[in-house]
Amino acid sequence: MTIVITAFERSPDGGKGLARDTRVRWALEEVGLPYEVRLVSFEAKKEQPHLGLHPFGLIPTYEEGDLVLFESGAIVLHIAENHLGLLPEDPGARARAITWMFAALSTVEPPILEIVIVRFAEGDKPWSEERLELVKDRIRDRLAQLSDRLGDAEWLDGEFSAGDLMMVSVLLRSRPSGLLDEFPNLAAYAARGEARPAYRRAFAAQLAINAPDRVSD
Ligand code: GTB
């Protein structure tokens, strides 16, 4: 059955792996599943038929026969639960890997996303510079806690899992601000994720779509 995901026709980051289809592509590559990509424009995302797939008019979505999913976390979990390679067999280790997925999405990602809001939605406000510093400090607090937990370990809990895939994806969003590099063990952890062949294939596929010399279909 063909798997189809959606991605930006033109990613705001120029295809540098920061949009959320990257984590879905990465998961599919890790488990060795082929997939197709339907590109959507910013305008088309907010209209039918895309709204029928994603109630909030965002990317990514995931179609597999009659099954339609949205939310990158739910999509990666679905892939990980149904294919070998992203979740351990042991029930306890499996539950912990899923816990790290949730931690990435609901505890680490929200403060990191605030930077985008301050820069792009509130950048013209007289208080935005001051708020940016507060937001950065909140991110530092979270990254410091994560850095302490990771220590010298290669991955968060034993073997690489969907928890690491999600955490690395989230951490990469903090790199442009310079915050990730303030924590060398987290920067090295993210680099280990990026070095995985599956990540590299996912990144290359997204970049190819956004390459400046790409001829539009
Ligand atoms: N919780 C949802 C999920 O995890 O799937 C969030 C989905 C989401 O916000 N998708 C974004 C979107 O569709 C794409 S990734 N945004 C369009 C809109 O809001 O209309 C967001 C994104 C945009 C730009 C960069 N960048 O330039 O670095 C990175 C990520």
In the prediction, which pLDDT does 214 show? 61
Domains delineated in the chain: 3-85+199-209 (3.40.30.10), 91-196 (1.20.1050.10)
Residue 12 has pLDDT above 70, yes or no: yes
Q: Is 134 left (phi over 0), alpha (psi -120 to 50) or beta?
A: alpha
**47-91 pLDDT per residue, tens:** 999 999 999 999 999 999 999 999 999 999 999 999 999 999 999
* Ligand 1 pocket member 104 (CB < 6 A): no
Confidence of residue 216 (pLDDT cuts 50, 70, 90): very low
Most informative mutation of 20, 62, 101 for ligand 1 (most atoms within 8 A of CB): 20
Query: Rounded to two decimals, what is the model's pTM?
Result: 0.95
CB of 13 shorter than 6 A to ligand 1? yes
Give the distance (Å) from ligand 1 centre to CA of residue 171: 15
User: How is residue 182 annotated by DSSP?
Assistant: G
Cα distances (angstroms) measured from residue 196 to each of 162, 200, 202: 13, 6, 10
116 CB under 6 A from ligand 1?
no
- Give percent above pLDDT 90 in the chain: 87
Mutate to test the pocket of ligand 1, among 10, 11, 58 (most ligand atoms within 8 A of CB): 58
Q: How much is the pLDDT for 213?
A: 63
Residue 140 has pLDDT above 70, yes or no: yes
Ligand 1 pocket, 9 CB below 6 A?
no
Indicate the DSSP class of residue 44.
H
SS3 content of the chain, % helix, strand, coil (to 5): 55, 10, 35
